[in-house]
Amino acid sequence: MNDTQIKTLIKEIREEQHISSAEKDDTLKEYIKEAEYDINENVGNEIDYEKDLKARVLLKNYVLYRRFSRLAEFKQLYGGDYAYLQSKYYKPSDVQ
């Protein structure tokens, strides 16, 4: 994800989650990068968060739970979303 996309996401997250200006953009940027890595790694593919709105919502929810140190709870609640994205982006290989 490029810096422009991250800045747009930070703005969206601030508005949706009612985050005060006291919370630094750099912190939110790190959470977004963490979320992007985690989701892409678990799905097994690089996702375009501009096009895939379901994945975008998952990323923003990851940030919400990360802000409050509740990632274990997030993983339990959103496991189905990860499974959905895994099946959506699954690419079969000929490796046996």
Q: pLDDT for 66-89, tens place per residue?
A: 999 999 999 999 999 999 999 999
| Helical ranges in 1-96 per DSSP H | 3-17, 25-43, 53-67, 71-77, 79-89
Domain spans in the chain, listed from the N-terminal domain onward: 3-89
Cα 49 to Cα 36: distance, rounded to the nearest angstrom: 9
The pair of structure tokens assigned to 54 is 């379901």
pLDDT of 26-48, one tens digit each?
999 999 999 999 999 999 999 99
pTM: 0.90
